[in-house]
């Protein structure tokens, strides 16, 4: 079963997928989904920052199940460098912060 899944995903990666961008439609209100996406992204960034701050407290890491090495990390057992992983997530989120605006129109544009 794993071999089948691996071959299917490998075939999928080889398919030509041209990047298609729909034209932005100008209006006074803009795309209503853009505001919602921005709110969700902001909430996620704030949650990540808060979690990083909590983990900086002296006894907070005792409450987490952390793997002893990165090789033992999985879905339920966080890696030993979990705060660093959260900081990397925050950097990636900031780097892609304006991506949605490339596809959806903001108001008055």
pLDDT digits (tens, 9 = 90+) for 93-107: 999 999 888 888 887
The more confidently predicted of residues 99 and 46 is 46
Q: Select the more confidently predicted residue: 61 or 26.
A: 61
Mean per-residue pLDDT over the chain, rounded:
81
71/14: higher pLDDT? 71
CA 75 to CA 107: how far, in whole Å? 40
pLDDT bin (cut points 50, 70, 90) of residue 20 is low
CA gap 109, 26 in Å, rounded: 5
Rounded-to-integer distance, Cα 36 and Cα 73, Å: 33
CB atoms within 10 A of CB 31: 19
Give the pLDDT confidence of 60-80 residue by residue, as tens digits: 888 888 889 989 988 888 998
**pLDDT for 22:** 63
Give yes or no for a contact between 78 and 66, defined as CB atoms under 8 angstroms apart.
yes
Alpha-carbon distance 106 to 24, whole Å? 9
Residue 3: the pLDDT is 46
């Amino acid at each position: 079963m794993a071999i089948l899944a691996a071959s299917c995903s490998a075939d999928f990666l080889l398919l030509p997928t041209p990047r298609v961008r729909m034209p932005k439609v100008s209006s006074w209100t803009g795309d209503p989904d853009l505001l919602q996406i921005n709110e969700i992204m902001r909430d996620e960034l704030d949650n990540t920052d808060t979690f990083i701050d909590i983990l900086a407290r002296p006894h907070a890491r005792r409450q987490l199940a952390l793997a002893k090495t990165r090789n033992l990390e999985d879905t339920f057992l966080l890696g030993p460098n979990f705060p660093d992983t959260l900081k990397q997530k925050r950097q990636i989120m900031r780097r892609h912060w304006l991506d949605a605006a490339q596809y959806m129109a903001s108001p008055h544009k």
